[in-house]
Amino acid sequence: MEDHGEQIIRFDDLARGDVAHVGGKNASLGEMVRHLGARGINVPPGFATTSHAYWQFVDEGGLRDTVASALQAMHDGKATLAETGKILRDAFLSADWPKQIEDAIRAEYEALCTRIGRKDVDVAVRSSATAEDLPDASFAGQQETFLNIRGPEALLYACRRCYASLFTDRAISYREAKGFDHLKVALSVGVQVMVRSDIGGSGVMFSIDTETGFDRVVVIDAAWGLGETVVQGIVDPDEYQVFKPLLAREGIVPIVEKRLGAKADKMIYARAGKGTTRIVPTSKAERAGFVLSEPEIVQLARWACVIEEHYGCPMDIEWAKDGETGALFIVQARPETVQSRREAGAYRSYSVTEKGRKLVTGLSIGDAAVAGQVCLLDTPQEIDSFVDGGVLVTGNTDPDWVPIMKRASAIVTDRGGRTSHAAIVSRELGLPAIVGAGNATHVLHDEQEITVSCAEGDQGFVYEGTARITEDMLDPAAVPETRTEVMLNLANPAAAFRWWRLPADGVGLARMEFVINNHVRIHPMALIHFDTLQDAEAKAQITALTAGHDDKAGYFVDRLSRGLARIAAALYPKPVIIRMSDFKTNEYAELIGGAGFEPPEENPMLGFRGASRYTSPRYRAGFALECRAIRRLRDEMGFDNVVVMIPFCRSVAEADRVLAVMAEEGLERGKNGLQVYVMAEIPSNVVLASAFAERFDGFSIGSNDLTQLTLGVDRDSETLAELFDEQDPAVKWMIGHVIAAAKDAGAKIGLCGQGPSDYPEFAQFLVECGIDSISVTPDSFLRVKEQVARAERDGS
């Protein structure tokens, strides 16, 4: 390269060890250009001014004294932060370039134009502080970026503006807060050829899930136009998630999430004389379409893995797609500095003291406790009045409440039991909840300060005022080993990654109907018969939800398979047992478009549910879509750890019919390693266990329904709640008998009911019976695991 002394260094000649000379951003770009280009990663060429050039600019412009005196005046209270920042920025903008540096920038820009083969090539001009992106001092976002800069004069002005941006109000405040000497932080300017993403797309990706720290996914955000809209949070982008361990397998496309963002606006190049960029509305087609194709999503994810492997840590990466050529580029990469440094043992136990008056009592979900302010809502449409971190108090919840539930610190409902929507979703979100309280909406009022305690056993309490809550850390690494497998019950794809650090032996129950309810929301038969659907309101909702999908039935398969994939990924390669849909008719009818496809029933709990639906003309086509989703999950996405389970199978003849239908739909037991289990939840499953064992690879005891049908107690009846007891001798006889029968037949057997989660001592009985696995809610995993270990020690 042409010798410009110490002022300019091309990206090709930089490495990550050059942070002191060109800042973290530019050093990282140089590192990738030098070492990762050979591995297929495209990084636009460019060059960087050095910290030496910055200090030369400061010294020859006499700016040291200006900076020192202005900051001293601010510290003495003689000037505000805003006044100080303006003085310093004006000083930098009005200072002249030293001739040596100006000549170097002009010459290197001209050389860059020659390399690209275009006159006045458009470039991005980015600031890179010399202490930027260090683990304890990430200056990312503190300085400015200028896009679509053309010609040497515009470039010199943009570089001067970058220097001035070292003294924006937020940058000054940041360094003050971190204790950095303002005159010991220099600035490098990165000059990089623009990718024409203004007519393409761009975004950000992380090689780690930024919400949970799950380190086996790449999370990609994408929007139309230049990437600043995503970086600055101006738009709601598309979101894609890719499971890293399966990326290397030939023919596999492990995209576990593909969410269409609103993408209402985009940033593009400005017209001549109108500045450098402008924001315009996107077209209807752009809003309805995904920015990236699936091959492009996979390519970016693979690049993220290569970059992460090279740097040896999770990475925060910016990418761009050229609208002229369709090529993808990496335009920035830096270490991710939040989740990757978070303490691994993120599980806590709670105790509550100094409690106020007891106001409300109900069933306790989870074992946490929080204090907060009541937000009393009647419908989910009142979301705008919900205060983040408030305690949601309402009659009951359904999937429409999930966006509010995610923002709550705790949940209290009048109605519902331990298997209600509020209970299951709260467990997976890690929120304390009290369900079936009866009178919470009558007793509690808006803005009331309360404490919600689920840390005192199976009864949960709402106390007046703010109690004293003590947290103790639970270390998953200290969990004892057990012969009996302890697995997780999961249903909510949005929360599945939260539990990845738990040393569970897999997922013993993934409820497909909850994924349909929350992730799909539409009755499958309404999608299949969309053209003849009579419900105009449902038809409009379906049209909106299926935007971007040409095939309405394909929407069901796509959403269901991706939702289940997140659950399958959380503990991969350990087994994940997915129960095919087990809605009751009244629940199915509540799905969008479902009312016209479900018969009215007096007792849906004992009606048209489970296996009986799968071969019925009323639902056979819907079950085919469920099978397509499982086939896609295993064969196309690569999650061959998935086991299928059939619920509520009343007879051996029904089992044969269901297995035949599954085989017709490409899910033949034993083919490609597919295992099929059956729920043991009806007395006939226990009585004829040996016959069922000939047809299935294993059993999972559904203790909720088995208790209901053994004792003749409606599990949802509040009046009979005290009679519903999974530890009743009759129920325990049933459980012990089916475990013994499964063992004799050489079939696997586990239990996925609520009992061990609520009553860890119940786990001891199961261990004594010789059960293979126990599946529990994530919040009770650690204490059940300890109980199982104790039972195994006592029995050895």
Helix (H, G, I), strand (E, B) or coil at 362: strand
Contact by Cβ (8 Å): 242, 248: no
Q: Which two tokens stand for residue 450?
A: 């309360």
Residue 509, strand partner residues:
489
| Structure-derived torsion over alpha carbons of residues 740, 741, 742, 743, reported in degrees to the nearest 10 | 50
**335 residue type, one letter:** P
Closest CA to 734 of 714, 715, 716, 709: 709
Peptide bond into 573 cis (omega under 30): yes
CA–CA separation, 636 vs 639, rounded Å?
A: 8
DSSP state of 88: H
Residue 348, strand partner residues:
473
**721 residue type, one letter:** A
Q: Which residue is associated with the tokens 């003085």?
A: 87
Contact by Cβ (8 Å): 390, 410: no
CA–CA separation, 102 vs 7, rounded Å?
A: 10
Dihedral sign (CA 449, 453, 459, 463):
negative
CA–CA separation, 256 vs 218, rounded Å?
A: 10
Q: Where are the beta strands (DSSP E) in 120-194?
A: 123-129, 145-149, 187-193
- Relative to beta strand 459-464, strand 369-376 is unpaired
Closest CA to 680 of 642, 639, 648, 655: 648
CA–CA separation, 649 vs 440, rounded Å?
A: 38
Residue 191, strand partner residues:
47, 125
Distances 15 to 19, 140, 162 between C-alpha atoms, Å: 8, 19, 22
Which residues carry out catalysis? 421, 752
CA–CA separation, 524 vs 594, rounded Å?
A: 8
Closest CA to 593 of 653, 544, 651: 544
**725 residue type, one letter:** D
Residue 473, strand partner residues:
348
Q: Which two tokens stand for residue 378?
A: 């009647």
Residue 203, strand partner residues:
222, 319
Helix (H, G, I), strand (E, B) or coil at 700: strand
Q: Phi, psi (5° rounding) for residue 662?
A: -60, -40
**540 residue type, one letter:** A
**298 residue type, one letter:** V
Residues comprising the chain, all counted: 796
Burial call 689-719: b when 16+ CB within 10 Å, e when fewer: beebbebbbbbbbbbbbbbbbbbebbbbeee
CA–CA separation, 220 vs 217, rounded Å?
A: 10
Distances 700 to 32, 412, 718 between C-alpha atoms, Å: 50, 31, 26
Helix (H, G, I), strand (E, B) or coil at 85: helix
CA–CA separation, 190 vs 27, rounded Å?
A: 10
Q: Which two tokens stand for residue 473?
A: 């850390």
End-to-end alpha carbon distance in the chain: 74
Closest CA to 782 of 572, 567, 474, 497: 474
Closest CA to 477 of 499, 503, 505, 500: 503
Closest CA to 428 of 328, 349, 362, 510: 510
